């Protein structure tokens, strides 16, 4: 509501009063997420203290799960109900498939997918060898091209999203903990700049909706804090998996702007920055949203 | 040229060319955020204004604003102030200025400028996600702005 306090002249008092009147709506739902999984119950931290750099911005950070309706939230409580699990299974089939030019599978080098436990929680990160900022898609493609000798997978292809779903699930329940200092700092700063830039003919930044107005309704949509700890997510509206990179494309497009491409340096930096805003929330593995 | 063809070409030109007294987006004069003169030189149609305000592909004002006078609108947004009484709080000129470019009244406001065509960061071609070339078409044309203003002035408590 900060935006409405910056009024000019005699209009200020009226506008401020109205802005405050409008702020009382639709907070995140108070609820707790414990997922019934094959291996037992998994407790998910969906609300926690903000990272230090957001201490003056939010009292608490919330997973997008808190902003969805009862039906959608319930779908994530049990793996039998979670439609994203189909894509995890497809990912597991690909993991074990001998698809490399030399007959390699992912399992040939990495054994079971559980060897990936913890990775999703620290992504994106700067690769120690190259100094480049990597999103999970980059690591998958490095294997696909360099070790398996295949053409690289599309950043938002079905193959890629199935694999991301499988790998992400291995870190379910672990706290997001992406590094923002050291070699990550310049990428993080770039992502932050994008987050606060008002793009397109609608002149909207990520912050306009997800920082200033989270909890409010934009028509029938309940604006969340824009956290990505739940991604990849099964999006009911799309009847399929959506990655953070894809969602960024959709959001920027909706401002009537020229988007950045999924997998571009700009959106990788944005993913690092947005992920860091959720440091402390649990990786949800594969979430459900609408 | 036969008189029939001559007549047809006059009609075509009349359709293609904005009315002579229409104010283009770049020519709008804001005085403390307000715009005194009608952008079309004529009063707008309030019923058409309601359509513009409640249609997603047009103004979609109800995405953010609630309007008590339009109880049939499903799921109005809560981001922005309700518009009830807007006609009491603001003059017609102020309302016109706010609809055309609210940033001239409320510095840094979230509200998009509906009659602005350039000066954007990464302007797009509508909702395609592709690049657009400035000047873009304004989100609403002069007539639509006037229609919205004509409805807003009726919102008295």
Cβ within 8 Å, pair A257-B112: no
- Domains, chain B, in order of start with CATH, read 46-120+131-154 (1.10.760.10)
How far apart CA A49 and CA A62 sit, in angstroms, is 9
Task: Note whether A199 contacts B126, CB cutoff 8 Å.
Answer: no
The Cα of B150 is separated from the nearest Cα of chain A by a number of Å equal to: 21
Question: For the residues B26-53, what does the mean pLDDT come to?
Answer: 97
Q: Which long-range contacts (CB under 8 A, 24 or more apart) does A261-269 make?
A: A262/A155, A262/A156, A263/A135, A263/A137, A263/A138, A263/A155, A263/A156, A265/A133, A266/A190, A266/A194, A268/A124, A268/A133, A268/A134, A268/A135, A268/A138, A268/A187, A269/A133, A269/A187, A269/A188, A269/A190, A269/A191, A269/A194
Which pLDDT belongs to residue B18? 53
Report whether pLDDT(B139) > 80: yes
Strand partners, B131: B124
CB–CB contacts below 8 A, A to B: 121
Q: What is the average per-residue pLDDT within B106-114?
A: 97
Contact A229, A282 (CB under 8 A): yes
Q: Are A163 and A150 in contact (CB under 8 A)?
A: no
Please name the residue of chain B whose CA is at the shortest distance from the CA of residue A16. Answer: B81
Whether A29 contacts chain B with CB within 8 A: no
Cα–Cα dist A129/A146, whole Å: 15
Do A195 and A206 form a contact (C-beta atoms < 8 A)?
yes
What is the overall mean pLDDT for chain A?
92
Which residues, 6 or more positions from B93, have their beta carbon under 8 angstroms from its beta carbon? B31, B34, B35, B36
Alpha-carbon distance of B157 to B147, in angstroms, equals: 20
Measured CA distances, A204 to A1, A144, A198, A211 (Å): 14, 37, 4, 12
Share above pLDDT 90 across residues of chain B, in percent, rounded to a whole number: 86
Residue of B32, B113, B123 with shortest CB distance to A258? B123
Lowest mean pLDDT among A134-138, A177-181, B74-78, B139-143: B74-78
For A229-256, the three-class secondary structure string (H helix, E strand, C coil) is: CCCCEEECCCCEEECHHHHHHHHHHCCC
**pLDDT confidence tier of residue B157, bands split at 50, 70 and 90:** confident
Name the burial class of residue B5, with classes exposed (0-12), middle (13-18) and buried (19+) by CB atoms within 10 angstroms of its CB: exposed
Per-residue pLDDT reduced to its tens digit, A221-236: 999 999 999 999 999 9
Candidates B122, B127, B134, B135: best to mutate against A (most CBs of A within 10 A) is: B122
Q: Which residues of A touch B120 (CB under 8 A)?
A: 199-201, 203, 257
Nearest to B110 among A3, A18, A217 (CB): A3
Which residues of A are catalytically annotated? 251
Q: Distance, in angstroms, between B73 CA and closest chain A CA?
A: 10
Q: Is the separation of the CB atoms in B97 and B104 below 8 Å?
A: yes
How far apart, in Å, are the Cα atoms of B48 and each of B58, B69, B99?
11, 15, 15
Own/partner pairs, A203-211, CB within 8 angstroms, 24+ separation: A203/A255, A203/B103, A203/B112, A203/B113, A203/B120, A203/B121, A204/A255, A204/B110, A204/B112, A206/A251, A206/A270, A206/A274, A208/A3, A208/B110, A211/A57
CB contact under 8 A, B122 and A200: yes
Higher-pLDDT residue of A1 and A110 is A110
């Amino acid at each position: 509501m900060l935006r409405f306090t910056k009024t000019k002249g005699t209009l200020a008092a009226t506008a401020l009063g109205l802005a405050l009147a409008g702020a009382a709506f639709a907070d995140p739902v108070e609820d707790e997420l414990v997922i019934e999984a094959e291996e037992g119950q998994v407790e998910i931290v969906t609300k926690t203290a903000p990272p230090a750099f957001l201490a003056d911005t939010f009292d608490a950070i919330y997973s997008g799960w808190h902003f969805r309706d009862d039906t959608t939230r319930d779908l994530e409580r049990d793996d039998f109900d979670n439609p994203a699990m189909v894509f995890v299974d497809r990912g597991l089939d690909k993991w074990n498939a001998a698809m490399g030019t030399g007959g390699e599978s992912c399992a040939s080098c990495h054994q079971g997918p559980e060897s990936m436990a913890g990775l999703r929680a620290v992504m994106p990160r700067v690769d120690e060898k190259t100094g480049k900022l990597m999103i999970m898609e980059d690591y998958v493609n490095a294997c696909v091209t360099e070790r398996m000798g295949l053409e690289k997978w599309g950043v938002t292809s079905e193959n890629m999203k199935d694999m991301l779903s499988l790998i992400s699930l291995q870190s379910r329940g672990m706290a997001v903990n992406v590094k923002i200092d050291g070699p990550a700092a310049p990428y993080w700063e770039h992502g932050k700049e994008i987050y606060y830039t008002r793009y397109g003919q609608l002149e909207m930044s990520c912050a306009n909706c997800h920082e200033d107005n989270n909890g409010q309704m934009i028509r029938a949509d309940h604006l969340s804090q824009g956290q990505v700890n739940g991604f990849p997510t099964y999006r009911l509206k799309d009847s399929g998996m959506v990655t953070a990179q894809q969602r960024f494309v959709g959001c920027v497009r909706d401002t009537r702007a020229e988007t950045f491409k999924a997998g571009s340096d700009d959106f990788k930096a944005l993913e690092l920055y947005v992920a860091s805003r959720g440091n402390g929330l649990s990786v949800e593995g594969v979430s459900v949203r609408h | 040229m036969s008189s029939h063809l001559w007549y047809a070409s006059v009609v075509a030109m009349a359709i293609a060319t904005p009315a002579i007294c229409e104010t283009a987006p770049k020519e709008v004069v804001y005085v403390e955020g307000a715009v005194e003169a009608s952008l079309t030189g004529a009063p707008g149609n309030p019923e058409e204004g309601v359509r513009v305000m409640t249609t997603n592909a047009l103004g979609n004002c109800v995405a953010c604003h609630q309007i008590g006078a339009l109880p049939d609108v499903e799921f109005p947004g809560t981001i922005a102030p309700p518009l009830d009484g807007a006609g009491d709080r603001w003059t017609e000129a102020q309302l016109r200025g706010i609809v055309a470019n609210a940033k001239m009244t409320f510095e840094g406001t979230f509200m998009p400028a509906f009659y602005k065509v350039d000066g954007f960061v990464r302007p797009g071609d509508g909702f395609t996600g592709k690049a657009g070339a400035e000047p873009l078409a304004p989100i609403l044309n002069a007539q639509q702005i006037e229609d919205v203003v004509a409805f807003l002035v009726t919102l008295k408590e």
